[in-house]
Structure 1
Amino acid sequence: MPIHVNDMMQLLCRVSEEQKMKAAFRHSGRGALVAGATAFVGGLVGGPPGIAVGGAVGGLLGAWMTSGQFKPIPQIILELPPVEQHRLYEDAYAIVRELDWTDLAQLTALVMGNTAIQQKLLGVLMNYLTSELRAEIRYGD
């Protein structure tokens, strides 16, 4: 039986919620830009010593910026653009396609009662988050 994209996202949210999964995104490009910009400004203001000081300060600031804040994965899933949700849907639907269910509540009960299916869905979710979104995953509180 087909399942709507929004329903699949709700199922993935439920599975990731059970594991208390969170993810953080590292913005290394933004950090490098900050480090370079402060080195440049330091060079304009203080010459060669300013470049060194600006680079050091910018490097620390850039590192702090890229550390990322962990957000619950259900929040991340629901904030994905529709195109990205559809890509995730296709991979997850391949796992639940063979199950016998009539509505979302029954499908959720089947998945939550089967550890193997949960692990497969978590694998799809982890693969998507780490390869497509370059996120760092953390479990628990």
Structure 2
Amino acid sequence: MWAAVFQTQTRFNKMPIMVDDVMRLLGSIAEERKMKAAVKHSGKGALITGAVAFIGGLVGGPPGIAAGGAVGGLLGAWMTSGQFKPIPQIIMELPPAEQQKLFNEVTAIVRHLEWTDAVQLTTLVMGSEALKQQLLALLVNYVTKELRAEVRYDD
């Protein structure tokens, strides 16, 4: 009888996972998929496009505006592209409030699991393709919607 009580007791005494542990879990998933993200600097690109189009208009009149807009658009796109950072790094650099938001979403997905520590939680999640896919979708959604970033997978 005491064994049954003890098992029931320990089943409900899950170790509270810390925000850092969940960020590391998400980082492991992102690292496995070699995910990177680039925050879109559309304002900078638009400013460059507009400036070059303006200069083109001053130099060449209406045809100069068209040519300047085209050149400025290409220049703006080139200058703002390629600024990708690994998602694990981005996750660890998030402000505490954003990490807490992600933490809450992750714990809603993994609440049914039984674990004793963060290492075991990571092992359970990494061993389940379904859980990894759920957390990957959550992470991609967060990065694209909340951070307004473009996600890329390097192979």
Query: How far apart, in 1, do the equivalents of 2:128 and 2:48 lie?
Result: 47
Please say which structure displays the higher CA radius of gyration.
2
Match of 2:141 in 1: 127
62-71 or 27-36, which moves further after superposition?
A: 62-71
* Aligned-pair CA distance for 1:66: 3.3
* Aligned-pair CA distance for 1:44: 4.2
Which of 96, 101, 117 aligns to 1:103? It is 117
Q: What 5-or-longer segments of structure 2 have no aligned partner? A: 1-13
**Identity in percent:** 69
Q: Deviations over 1:78-123 (max 9, x none)?
A: 1222221111111111111221111111111111111111111111
Query: How far apart, in 2, do the equivalents of 1:90 and 1:68 lie?
Result: 31
Equivalent pairs, count? 141
Match of 2:130 in 1: 116
SS in 2 for 1:69: coil
Q: What 5-or-longer segments of structure 1 have no aligned partner? A: none
Query: How far apart, in 2, do the equivalents of 1:48 and 1:140 lie?
Result: 42
- Which amino acid in 2 is paired with 1:93? T
Q: Is the 8 A contact 1:25 1:68 kept in 2?
A: no
- Which amino acid in 2 is paired with 1:136? E
Query: How far apart, in 2, do the equivalents of 1:18 and 1:56 lie?
Result: 39
Match of 1:18 in 2: 32
Query: How far apart, in 1, do the equivalents of 2:152 and 2:61 lie?
Result: 43
Q: Is the 8 A contact 1:17 1:73 kept in 2?
A: yes
Query: How far apart, in 1, do the equivalents of 2:115 and 2:25 lie?
Result: 13
TM-score for both structures, normalised by structure 2: 0.79
TM-score for both structures, normalised by structure 1: 0.86
